[in-house]
Amino acid sequence: MQISLPPRAYQENITSTILPNHNSLVVLPTGLGKTLIALLVLKEKIKDGKCAFLAPTKPLAKQHLETVLKLTDLPPEEVALISGEISPKKRAELWKKLLCISTPQTLKNDIESGRAAFDFAYILFDEAHRAVGNYAYTFIAKKANEKGALILGLTASPGSEAKKIQEIVEALFISNVQIRTEEDEDVAPYVQKMKISFIPVKLTQELLSLKKPLDEMMKKERETLAKLGYPVRMNSKKELLQLKTRILLSKSPSKYGALSHHSTLFNLTHLSELLETQGTRVFEHYVEKLKAREETKAIARLLENPLISKLLSSLHLLSEHPKMGKLLELVLERKNEKIIVFVQYRDQIDEVVRELKGKGVLAERFVGKKDGVTRKEQEETINNFREGAFQVLVASSIGEEGLDIPAVDTVIFFEPIPSAIRTIQRRGRAGRAKAGSVLVLYTQNTKDEAYFWSARRKEKNMKRIVKGMQEKSNEGRAERQAKREDGASGKEGAREKTDEEKRTTGIKRERRIGQSRISDFF
Protein backbone atom coordinates (compact mmCIF):
# COMPACT_ATOMS: atom_id res chain seq x y z
CA MET A 1 0.00 0.00 0.00
CA GLN A 2 1.25 3.48 -0.94
CA ILE A 3 0.14 6.92 0.33
CA SER A 4 0.14 9.79 -2.16
CA LEU A 5 0.43 12.60 0.43
CA PRO A 6 3.91 12.96 1.96
CA PRO A 7 3.79 13.02 5.77
CA ARG A 8 5.10 15.86 7.89
CA ALA A 9 7.89 15.31 10.40
CA TYR A 10 5.59 15.31 13.44
CA GLN A 11 3.28 12.79 11.76
CA GLU A 12 6.21 10.47 11.11
CA ASN A 13 7.53 10.97 14.65
CA ILE A 14 4.17 10.13 16.20
CA THR A 15 3.74 7.09 13.91
CA SER A 16 7.17 5.78 14.92
CA THR A 17 5.97 5.59 18.54
CA ILE A 18 2.90 3.56 17.53
CA LEU A 19 4.33 0.98 15.17
CA PRO A 20 6.28 -1.04 17.75
CA ASN A 21 2.72 -2.23 18.50
CA HIS A 22 1.91 0.22 21.26
CA ASN A 23 -1.78 0.94 21.80
CA SER A 24 -1.78 4.71 21.39
CA LEU A 25 -3.83 7.83 22.00
CA VAL A 26 -2.95 10.75 19.71
CA VAL A 27 -4.17 14.24 20.63
CA LEU A 28 -3.78 16.68 17.77
CA PRO A 29 -5.62 19.93 16.88
CA THR A 30 -8.25 19.74 14.14
CA GLY A 31 -6.84 20.25 10.66
CA LEU A 32 -3.32 18.96 11.42
CA GLY A 33 -3.64 15.55 9.83
CA LYS A 34 -4.69 12.99 12.43
CA THR A 35 -6.10 10.82 9.64
CA LEU A 36 -2.75 10.70 7.83
CA ILE A 37 -1.21 9.21 10.97
CA ALA A 38 -3.93 6.55 10.88
CA LEU A 39 -3.01 5.83 7.23
CA LEU A 40 0.72 5.60 8.00
CA VAL A 41 -0.06 2.97 10.63
CA LEU A 42 -2.44 1.24 8.21
CA LYS A 43 0.33 1.04 5.60
CA GLU A 44 2.32 -1.26 7.91
CA LYS A 45 -0.43 -3.13 9.76
CA ILE A 46 -2.41 -4.10 6.66
CA LYS A 47 0.50 -6.45 5.90
CA ASP A 48 -0.60 -8.42 8.98
CA GLY A 49 -4.26 -8.75 7.98
CA LYS A 50 -7.63 -7.02 7.99
CA CYS A 51 -8.00 -3.56 9.54
CA ALA A 52 -10.91 -1.35 10.63
CA PHE A 53 -11.54 2.39 10.89
CA LEU A 54 -14.34 3.39 13.28
CA ALA A 55 -16.03 6.80 13.48
CA PRO A 56 -19.02 7.80 15.65
CA THR A 57 -21.28 8.92 12.78
CA LYS A 58 -21.93 7.74 9.24
CA PRO A 59 -20.88 11.11 7.69
CA LEU A 60 -17.52 10.83 9.50
CA ALA A 61 -17.13 7.21 8.38
CA LYS A 62 -17.91 8.29 4.82
CA GLN A 63 -15.19 10.95 5.07
CA HIS A 64 -12.70 8.27 6.05
CA LEU A 65 -13.73 6.19 3.02
CA GLU A 66 -13.21 9.16 0.69
CA THR A 67 -9.80 9.91 2.26
CA VAL A 68 -8.62 6.30 1.97
CA LEU A 69 -9.67 6.07 -1.69
CA LYS A 70 -8.11 9.45 -2.49
CA LEU A 71 -4.77 9.09 -0.69
CA THR A 72 -3.98 5.36 -0.96
CA ASP A 73 -3.77 2.79 -3.73
CA LEU A 74 -5.88 0.24 -1.89
CA PRO A 75 -8.22 -1.46 -4.38
CA PRO A 76 -11.71 0.08 -3.94
CA GLU A 77 -13.22 -3.40 -3.97
CA GLU A 78 -11.21 -4.21 -0.81
CA VAL A 79 -12.51 -1.18 1.12
CA ALA A 80 -16.03 -1.31 2.59
CA LEU A 81 -18.22 1.36 4.19
CA ILE A 82 -20.52 -0.53 6.55
CA SER A 83 -23.58 0.83 8.36
CA GLY A 84 -26.85 -0.38 9.79
CA GLU A 85 -28.62 0.76 6.61
CA ILE A 86 -27.07 -2.21 4.76
CA SER A 87 -28.85 -5.56 5.04
CA PRO A 88 -27.42 -7.98 7.65
CA LYS A 89 -26.61 -10.59 4.99
CA LYS A 90 -24.62 -8.14 2.90
CA ARG A 91 -22.82 -6.77 5.97
CA ALA A 92 -21.61 -10.27 6.81
CA GLU A 93 -19.81 -10.37 3.45
CA LEU A 94 -18.45 -6.81 3.73
CA TRP A 95 -16.71 -7.59 7.05
CA LYS A 96 -14.39 -9.90 5.08
CA LYS A 97 -12.88 -6.95 3.17
CA LEU A 98 -9.30 -5.82 3.76
CA LEU A 99 -10.33 -2.47 5.27
CA CYS A 100 -13.71 -2.05 6.97
CA ILE A 101 -14.93 1.49 7.75
CA SER A 102 -17.92 1.63 10.06
CA THR A 103 -19.71 3.17 12.98
CA PRO A 104 -18.89 1.39 16.26
CA GLN A 105 -22.48 0.42 17.01
CA THR A 106 -22.76 -1.44 13.71
CA LEU A 107 -19.59 -3.42 14.40
CA LYS A 108 -20.67 -4.16 17.97
CA ASN A 109 -24.08 -5.42 16.82
CA ASP A 110 -22.53 -7.62 14.14
CA ILE A 111 -19.93 -9.09 16.50
CA GLU A 112 -22.65 -9.96 19.03
CA SER A 113 -24.85 -11.53 16.32
CA GLY A 114 -21.96 -13.48 14.81
CA ARG A 115 -22.06 -11.66 11.47
CA ALA A 116 -18.57 -10.19 12.01
CA ALA A 117 -15.54 -12.10 13.23
CA PHE A 118 -13.09 -9.98 15.19
CA ASP A 119 -9.95 -10.80 13.24
CA PHE A 120 -8.50 -7.32 12.73
CA ALA A 121 -4.77 -6.61 13.00
CA TYR A 122 -5.35 -2.90 13.63
CA ILE A 123 -8.36 -0.80 14.60
CA LEU A 124 -8.74 2.98 14.56
CA PHE A 125 -11.05 4.76 17.04
CA ASP A 126 -11.74 8.24 15.66
CA GLU A 127 -13.05 10.86 18.13
CA ALA A 128 -11.61 8.62 20.85
CA HIS A 129 -12.90 10.85 23.67
CA ARG A 130 -16.18 8.97 23.22
CA ALA A 131 -14.62 5.77 24.60
CA VAL A 132 -16.35 6.03 27.97
CA GLY A 133 -19.21 4.32 29.78
CA ASN A 134 -21.29 1.94 27.67
CA TYR A 135 -20.41 3.50 24.32
CA ALA A 136 -19.68 0.83 21.69
CA TYR A 137 -16.00 1.81 21.55
CA THR A 138 -15.40 0.27 24.99
CA PHE A 139 -16.86 -3.11 23.93
CA ILE A 140 -14.82 -3.19 20.70
CA ALA A 141 -11.58 -2.13 22.42
CA LYS A 142 -11.96 -4.99 24.87
CA LYS A 143 -12.28 -7.42 21.95
CA ALA A 144 -9.27 -5.83 20.25
CA ASN A 145 -7.16 -6.23 23.39
CA GLU A 146 -8.20 -9.87 23.78
CA LYS A 147 -7.24 -10.62 20.17
CA GLY A 148 -3.98 -8.62 20.22
CA ALA A 149 -5.06 -6.04 17.62
CA LEU A 150 -3.23 -2.70 17.60
CA ILE A 151 -5.43 0.12 18.93
CA LEU A 152 -5.11 3.76 17.81
CA GLY A 153 -7.32 6.47 19.28
CA LEU A 154 -7.48 9.94 17.68
CA THR A 155 -9.00 13.07 19.20
CA ALA A 156 -8.58 16.84 19.30
CA SER A 157 -9.27 16.75 23.04
CA PRO A 158 -9.74 13.85 25.46
CA GLY A 159 -11.31 16.10 28.11
CA SER A 160 -9.94 18.20 30.93
CA GLU A 161 -10.32 16.03 34.01
CA ALA A 162 -7.79 13.39 35.01
CA LYS A 163 -10.63 10.97 35.85
CA LYS A 164 -12.17 11.30 32.38
CA ILE A 165 -8.83 10.91 30.60
CA GLN A 166 -8.04 7.92 32.79
CA GLU A 167 -11.32 6.31 31.75
CA ILE A 168 -10.39 6.68 28.07
CA VAL A 169 -6.86 5.35 28.66
CA GLU A 170 -8.24 2.27 30.43
CA ALA A 171 -11.08 1.70 27.96
CA LEU A 172 -8.66 1.68 25.00
CA PHE A 173 -5.83 -0.14 26.83
CA ILE A 174 -3.46 2.72 26.03
CA SER A 175 0.28 2.46 26.76
CA ASN A 176 1.52 5.30 24.53
CA VAL A 177 0.21 8.88 24.60
CA GLN A 178 1.23 11.51 22.05
CA ILE A 179 0.06 15.12 21.99
CA ARG A 180 0.97 18.10 19.83
CA THR A 181 -0.34 21.63 20.29
CA GLU A 182 -0.08 24.74 18.13
CA GLU A 183 2.92 25.84 20.20
CA ASP A 184 5.08 22.75 19.53
CA GLU A 185 8.09 23.44 17.29
CA ASP A 186 7.42 20.63 14.85
CA VAL A 187 3.77 21.65 14.44
CA ALA A 188 3.96 25.47 14.48
CA PRO A 189 5.06 25.84 10.80
CA TYR A 190 1.88 24.08 9.65
CA VAL A 191 -0.59 25.94 11.87
CA GLN A 192 -2.62 28.58 10.09
CA LYS A 193 -2.79 31.87 11.94
CA MET A 194 -5.94 32.07 13.99
CA LYS A 195 -7.01 35.22 15.75
CA ILE A 196 -9.26 34.56 18.73
CA SER A 197 -11.29 37.51 20.00
CA PHE A 198 -13.63 37.64 22.99
CA ILE A 199 -16.38 40.18 22.50
CA PRO A 200 -18.30 41.35 25.57
CA VAL A 201 -21.83 42.75 25.48
CA LYS A 202 -23.73 44.38 28.33
CA LEU A 203 -27.13 43.21 29.43
CA THR A 204 -29.69 45.96 28.89
CA GLN A 205 -31.47 47.56 31.85
CA GLU A 206 -34.74 46.17 30.49
CA LEU A 207 -33.48 42.60 30.68
CA LEU A 208 -31.89 43.23 34.09
CA SER A 209 -35.23 44.42 35.44
CA LEU A 210 -36.93 41.28 34.08
CA LYS A 211 -34.38 39.13 35.90
CA LYS A 212 -35.37 40.49 39.30
CA PRO A 213 -38.60 38.48 39.69
CA LEU A 214 -36.74 35.33 38.64
CA ASP A 215 -34.06 36.05 41.23
CA GLU A 216 -36.76 36.45 43.90
CA MET A 217 -38.38 33.14 42.98
CA MET A 218 -35.04 31.31 42.96
CA LYS A 219 -34.16 32.73 46.37
CA LYS A 220 -37.46 31.45 47.79
CA GLU A 221 -36.89 27.94 46.34
CA ARG A 222 -33.34 27.81 47.73
CA GLU A 223 -34.65 28.78 51.18
CA THR A 224 -37.29 26.02 51.00
CA LEU A 225 -34.68 23.42 50.03
CA ALA A 226 -32.42 24.55 52.88
CA LYS A 227 -35.28 24.09 55.37
CA LEU A 228 -35.81 20.58 54.00
CA GLY A 229 -32.14 19.82 54.68
CA TYR A 230 -30.69 20.41 51.21
CA PRO A 231 -28.86 23.75 51.12
CA VAL A 232 -27.72 25.14 47.75
CA ARG A 233 -24.29 26.76 48.01
CA MET A 234 -24.03 28.08 44.44
CA ASN A 235 -26.73 28.82 41.92
CA SER A 236 -25.35 26.69 39.08
CA LYS A 237 -26.77 23.83 37.05
CA LYS A 238 -23.76 21.67 37.86
CA GLU A 239 -24.34 21.97 41.59
CA LEU A 240 -28.09 21.45 41.15
CA LEU A 241 -27.45 18.19 39.27
CA GLN A 242 -25.16 17.04 42.08
CA LEU A 243 -27.82 18.05 44.61
CA LYS A 244 -30.44 15.98 42.79
CA THR A 245 -28.23 12.91 43.16
CA ARG A 246 -27.93 13.55 46.91
CA ILE A 247 -31.70 13.93 47.25
CA LEU A 248 -32.38 10.71 45.30
CA LEU A 249 -29.99 8.79 47.56
CA SER A 250 -31.55 10.23 50.69
CA LYS A 251 -33.85 8.23 52.96
CA SER A 252 -35.37 11.36 54.51
CA PRO A 253 -39.19 11.67 54.55
CA SER A 254 -38.73 15.13 52.95
CA LYS A 255 -37.13 13.54 49.88
CA TYR A 256 -40.07 13.81 47.44
CA GLY A 257 -41.00 17.34 48.44
CA ALA A 258 -37.37 18.33 47.99
CA LEU A 259 -37.29 16.79 44.50
CA SER A 260 -40.33 18.85 43.51
CA HIS A 261 -38.79 22.11 44.73
CA HIS A 262 -35.48 21.13 43.16
CA SER A 263 -37.24 20.75 39.78
CA THR A 264 -38.79 24.20 40.13
CA LEU A 265 -35.43 25.73 41.02
CA PHE A 266 -33.68 24.01 38.13
CA ASN A 267 -36.22 25.33 35.61
CA LEU A 268 -35.98 28.83 37.10
CA THR A 269 -32.18 28.69 36.86
CA HIS A 270 -32.44 27.68 33.21
CA LEU A 271 -34.93 30.45 32.48
CA SER A 272 -32.67 32.99 34.15
CA GLU A 273 -29.71 31.80 32.06
CA LEU A 274 -31.76 32.02 28.85
CA LEU A 275 -32.80 35.58 29.63
CA GLU A 276 -29.21 36.59 30.47
CA THR A 277 -27.45 34.91 27.56
CA GLN A 278 -30.03 34.32 24.80
CA GLY A 279 -32.89 36.80 24.97
CA THR A 280 -36.65 37.05 25.24
CA ARG A 281 -37.75 34.84 22.32
CA VAL A 282 -35.83 31.77 23.47
CA PHE A 283 -37.06 32.42 27.02
CA GLU A 284 -40.64 32.49 25.76
CA HIS A 285 -40.14 29.29 23.73
CA TYR A 286 -38.94 27.45 26.84
CA VAL A 287 -41.97 28.59 28.85
CA GLU A 288 -44.20 27.26 26.06
CA LYS A 289 -42.43 23.90 26.28
CA LEU A 290 -43.05 23.79 30.03
CA LYS A 291 -46.74 24.46 29.42
CA ALA A 292 -46.87 21.61 26.92
CA ARG A 293 -45.42 19.10 29.39
CA GLU A 294 -47.50 16.91 31.66
CA GLU A 295 -48.31 19.15 34.61
CA THR A 296 -46.55 18.45 37.88
CA LYS A 297 -46.47 20.36 41.15
CA ALA A 298 -43.04 21.68 40.21
CA ILE A 299 -44.21 23.09 36.86
CA ALA A 300 -47.48 24.42 38.31
CA ARG A 301 -45.55 26.17 41.11
CA LEU A 302 -43.53 27.98 38.46
CA LEU A 303 -46.16 28.78 35.81
CA GLU A 304 -48.89 29.83 38.24
CA ASN A 305 -46.63 32.30 40.00
CA PRO A 306 -47.95 35.85 39.32
CA LEU A 307 -44.38 37.08 38.87
CA ILE A 308 -43.98 34.79 35.83
CA SER A 309 -47.29 35.97 34.37
CA LYS A 310 -46.23 39.59 34.79
CA LEU A 311 -42.83 38.86 33.25
CA LEU A 312 -44.35 37.12 30.21
CA SER A 313 -46.72 40.01 29.57
CA SER A 314 -43.72 42.36 29.32
CA LEU A 315 -41.63 40.35 26.86
CA HIS A 316 -43.22 41.65 23.65
CA LEU A 317 -42.32 45.22 24.60
CA LEU A 318 -38.59 44.49 24.68
CA SER A 319 -35.93 44.46 22.01
CA GLU A 320 -33.81 41.35 21.43
CA HIS A 321 -30.71 40.44 23.39
CA PRO A 322 -27.74 42.74 22.61
CA LYS A 323 -25.79 39.70 21.36
CA MET A 324 -28.07 39.48 18.33
CA GLY A 325 -27.29 43.02 17.24
CA LYS A 326 -23.55 42.41 17.75
CA LEU A 327 -23.72 39.16 15.78
CA LEU A 328 -25.43 40.88 12.85
CA GLU A 329 -22.79 43.61 12.95
CA LEU A 330 -19.94 41.08 12.87
CA VAL A 331 -21.43 39.12 9.97
CA LEU A 332 -22.23 42.23 7.90
CA GLU A 333 -18.61 43.38 8.33
CA ARG A 334 -17.49 40.11 6.72
CA LYS A 335 -19.49 40.04 3.50
CA ASN A 336 -16.83 38.12 1.58
CA GLU A 337 -16.12 35.51 4.25
CA LYS A 338 -17.52 32.03 4.79
CA ILE A 339 -18.79 31.88 8.37
CA ILE A 340 -20.03 29.26 10.84
CA VAL A 341 -22.08 30.51 13.79
CA PHE A 342 -22.35 28.00 16.65
CA VAL A 343 -25.45 28.35 18.79
CA GLN A 344 -26.16 26.35 21.94
CA TYR A 345 -29.97 26.33 21.86
CA ARG A 346 -32.01 25.06 18.92
CA ASP A 347 -34.71 27.71 19.28
CA GLN A 348 -32.04 30.38 18.98
CA ILE A 349 -30.70 28.83 15.76
CA ASP A 350 -33.96 29.62 13.96
CA GLU A 351 -33.95 33.15 15.39
CA VAL A 352 -30.37 33.77 14.21
CA VAL A 353 -31.15 32.48 10.70
CA ARG A 354 -34.28 34.64 10.54
CA GLU A 355 -32.43 37.77 11.67
CA LEU A 356 -29.55 37.18 9.22
CA LYS A 357 -31.91 36.65 6.30
CA GLY A 358 -33.75 39.81 7.34
CA LYS A 359 -30.49 41.70 6.75
CA GLY A 360 -30.02 40.14 3.32
CA VAL A 361 -27.45 37.55 4.45
CA LEU A 362 -27.67 34.11 2.85
CA ALA A 363 -27.82 31.78 5.86
CA GLU A 364 -29.00 28.23 6.56
CA ARG A 365 -29.29 26.15 9.69
CA PHE A 366 -27.44 22.90 10.35
CA VAL A 367 -29.14 20.73 12.96
CA GLY A 368 -29.55 17.06 13.81
CA LYS A 369 -32.08 14.32 13.30
CA LYS A 370 -33.88 15.32 16.52
CA ASP A 371 -35.11 18.35 14.58
CA GLY A 372 -36.51 16.18 11.80
CA VAL A 373 -33.56 16.63 9.41
CA THR A 374 -32.42 13.57 7.49
CA ARG A 375 -28.79 12.64 6.91
CA LYS A 376 -29.25 13.33 3.20
CA GLU A 377 -30.53 16.83 3.97
CA GLN A 378 -27.54 17.42 6.26
CA GLU A 379 -25.13 16.38 3.51
CA GLU A 380 -26.90 18.63 0.99
CA THR A 381 -26.62 21.59 3.37
CA ILE A 382 -22.89 21.00 3.87
CA ASN A 383 -22.28 20.57 0.13
CA ASN A 384 -24.21 23.77 -0.65
CA PHE A 385 -22.20 25.64 1.97
CA ARG A 386 -18.91 24.28 0.64
CA GLU A 387 -19.86 25.30 -2.90
CA GLY A 388 -20.82 28.84 -1.85
CA ALA A 389 -24.62 28.63 -2.22
CA PHE A 390 -24.90 30.61 1.04
CA GLN A 391 -22.50 32.51 3.29
CA VAL A 392 -23.37 31.60 6.88
CA LEU A 393 -23.97 28.17 8.39
CA VAL A 394 -25.78 28.41 11.75
CA ALA A 395 -25.03 25.17 13.54
CA SER A 396 -25.98 23.30 16.69
CA SER A 397 -23.51 21.01 18.46
CA ILE A 398 -23.79 18.56 15.55
CA GLY A 399 -21.49 20.86 13.59
CA GLU A 400 -18.67 20.56 16.12
CA GLU A 401 -17.43 17.10 15.24
CA GLY A 402 -15.90 16.06 11.95
CA LEU A 403 -17.26 18.65 9.53
CA ASP A 404 -15.26 18.59 6.32
CA ILE A 405 -15.36 22.32 5.55
CA PRO A 406 -11.77 23.35 4.82
CA ALA A 407 -12.39 26.92 3.65
CA VAL A 408 -14.17 28.52 6.60
CA ASP A 409 -12.84 32.01 7.35
CA THR A 410 -14.55 32.77 10.64
CA VAL A 411 -16.20 30.88 13.46
CA ILE A 412 -18.52 32.79 15.79
CA PHE A 413 -19.62 31.41 19.16
CA PHE A 414 -23.00 32.91 20.08
CA GLU A 415 -22.04 31.99 23.63
CA PRO A 416 -19.06 30.37 25.41
CA ILE A 417 -19.51 26.76 26.50
CA PRO A 418 -17.87 25.20 29.57
CA SER A 419 -16.75 22.03 27.77
CA ALA A 420 -13.08 22.00 26.69
CA ILE A 421 -13.75 19.26 24.12
CA ARG A 422 -16.57 21.15 22.43
CA THR A 423 -14.73 24.48 22.58
CA ILE A 424 -11.69 22.98 20.84
CA GLN A 425 -13.86 21.27 18.23
CA ARG A 426 -15.80 24.45 17.47
CA ARG A 427 -12.63 26.51 17.22
CA GLY A 428 -11.07 23.91 14.93
CA ARG A 429 -13.60 24.63 12.20
CA ALA A 430 -11.63 27.85 11.35
CA GLY A 431 -8.14 28.23 9.93
CA ARG A 432 -7.88 24.72 8.50
CA ALA A 433 -6.60 25.68 5.05
CA LYS A 434 -5.90 29.38 5.52
CA ALA A 435 -5.72 32.03 8.23
CA GLY A 436 -8.98 32.30 10.15
CA SER A 437 -10.57 33.99 13.11
CA VAL A 438 -12.69 32.92 16.05
CA LEU A 439 -15.08 35.37 17.70
CA VAL A 440 -16.68 34.52 21.04
CA LEU A 441 -19.64 36.60 22.21
CA TYR A 442 -20.33 36.73 25.93
CA THR A 443 -22.64 38.71 28.18
CA GLN A 444 -20.77 40.41 30.99
CA ASN A 445 -21.49 39.43 34.60
CA THR A 446 -23.59 36.42 33.61
CA LYS A 447 -23.16 32.64 33.26
CA ASP A 448 -21.53 33.38 29.90
CA GLU A 449 -18.53 34.84 31.66
CA ALA A 450 -18.26 31.88 34.05
CA TYR A 451 -18.40 29.42 31.12
CA PHE A 452 -15.74 31.40 29.26
CA TRP A 453 -13.24 31.11 32.14
CA SER A 454 -14.23 27.49 32.80
CA ALA A 455 -13.43 26.44 29.21
CA ARG A 456 -10.04 28.19 29.28
CA ARG A 457 -9.10 26.58 32.58
CA LYS A 458 -10.16 23.12 31.40
CA GLU A 459 -8.20 23.35 28.16
CA LYS A 460 -5.01 24.32 30.02
CA ASN A 461 -5.59 21.43 32.41
CA MET A 462 -6.07 18.97 29.54
CA LYS A 463 -2.79 20.00 27.89
CA ARG A 464 -0.91 19.73 31.19
CA ILE A 465 -2.22 16.23 31.94
CA VAL A 466 -1.70 14.81 28.45
CA LYS A 467 1.77 16.40 28.08
CA GLY A 468 2.75 14.66 31.32
CA MET A 469 1.44 11.37 30.01
CA GLN A 470 3.40 11.80 26.77
CA GLU A 471 6.64 12.53 28.63
CA LYS A 472 6.22 9.35 30.68
CA SER A 473 5.43 7.32 27.56
CA ASN A 474 8.57 8.61 25.84
CA GLU A 475 10.74 7.93 28.91
CA GLY A 476 9.44 4.38 29.19
CA ARG A 477 10.11 3.71 25.51
CA ALA A 478 13.67 5.07 25.82
CA GLU A 479 14.33 2.86 28.87
CA ARG A 480 13.06 -0.26 27.08
CA GLN A 481 15.23 0.52 24.04
CA ALA A 482 18.33 0.99 26.24
CA LYS A 483 17.70 -2.35 27.96
CA ARG A 484 17.34 -4.11 24.62
CA GLU A 485 20.63 -2.63 23.39
CA ASP A 486 22.44 -3.54 26.63
CA GLY A 487 21.10 -7.07 26.44
CA ALA A 488 22.14 -7.48 22.82
CA SER A 489 25.72 -6.26 23.37
CA GLY A 490 26.44 -7.67 26.83
CA LYS A 491 25.34 -11.27 26.60
CA GLU A 492 27.05 -13.30 23.94
CA GLY A 493 25.57 -16.67 23.41
CA ALA A 494 22.57 -15.89 25.61
CA ARG A 495 20.06 -18.68 25.14
CA GLU A 496 16.77 -18.14 23.30
CA LYS A 497 13.73 -17.81 25.53
CA THR A 498 11.62 -20.91 25.81
CA ASP A 499 8.05 -20.89 24.49
CA GLU A 500 6.81 -20.89 28.09
CA GLU A 501 8.90 -17.79 28.93
CA LYS A 502 7.64 -15.97 25.86
CA ARG A 503 4.05 -16.82 26.76
CA THR A 504 4.51 -15.61 30.35
CA THR A 505 6.17 -12.38 29.21
CA GLY A 506 3.27 -11.70 26.84
CA ILE A 507 0.74 -12.20 29.61
CA LYS A 508 2.62 -9.81 31.89
CA ARG A 509 2.81 -7.20 29.12
CA GLU A 510 -0.92 -7.47 28.40
CA ARG A 511 -1.78 -7.09 32.07
CA ARG A 512 0.48 -4.06 32.43
CA ILE A 513 -1.08 -2.27 29.48
CA GLY A 514 -4.58 -3.10 30.57
CA GLN A 515 -3.99 -1.70 34.04
CA SER A 516 -2.26 1.59 33.12
CA ARG A 517 -3.28 4.44 35.37
CA ILE A 518 -2.93 8.22 35.25
CA SER A 519 -0.56 7.98 38.23
CA ASP A 520 1.80 5.92 36.03
CA PHE A 521 2.35 8.94 33.84
CA PHE A 522 3.59 11.39 36.50
Inside any domain, residue 490? no
From CA 125, how far away is CA 444, in angstroms rounded?
40
Q: Which of 454, 474, 491 finishes a domain?
A: 454
Tell me if 475 is assigned to some domain. no
Tell me which H or E stretch contains 386.
Answer: helix 375-386
Neighbours of 213 (CB within 10 A): 17
| pLDDT value of residue 263 | 93
Can you give the pLDDT at residue 468? 72
Is residue 225 one of the residues assigned to a domain? yes
64: helix, coil or strand?
helix
Q: Are residues 182 and 36 part of one domain? A: yes
Q: Provide the CB-side half-sphere exposure for 472 (13 A, CA).
A: 17
**CATH number of the domain enclosing 83:** 3.40.50.300
Does residue 483 sit within a domain?
A: no
Same domain, 257 and 400: no
Q: Residue 501: what pLDDT?
A: 41
Sign of torsion, CA 128 129 130 133?
positive
Q: Are strands 339-342 and 363-366 parallel, antiparallel or unpaired?
A: unpaired
According to the model, what pLDDT value does residue 146 have? 92
Give the end of a domain, one of 301, 317, 333.
Answer: 317
Q: Containing H/E element for 392?
A: strand 392-395
232 domain residue, yes or no: yes
Question: Residue 384 — φ and ψ, nearest 5°?
Answer: -65, -40
Q: How many domains does the chain have?
A: 3
Quote the CA–CA distance of 383 and 372 in Å, as a whole number. Answer: 19
Q: What is the pTM of this model?
A: 0.67
Domain housing 92: 9-189
How would you write the pLDDT of the chain (522 residues) with one tens digit per residue?
Answer: 899 999 998 999 999 999 887 899 998 877 778 899 999 999 999 999 999 999 998 888 998 999 999 999 999 999 999 998 899 999 999 999 999 999 999 999 999 999 998 899 999 999 999 998 899 999 999 999 999 999 999 998 877 677 788 889 899 999 898 888 777 777 877 776 677 888 999 988 888 888 888 889 999 999 999 999 999 877 788 889 889 999 999 888 889 999 999 999 999 999 999 988 998 888 888 988 998 888 899 999 998 888 888 888 877 767 788 999 999 999 999 988 889 998 988 889 989 999 999 999 999 998 877 777 787 888 888 889 888 899 999 988 765 555 566 567 888 989 887 666 666 666 665 545 455 788 999 999 888 888 877 777 777 777 777 777 777 767 666 666 666 556 655 544 444 444 444 433 343 333 333 334 434 433
CATH code: domain of residue 218: 1.20.1320.20
Residue 112 CB-half CA count within 13 A: 9
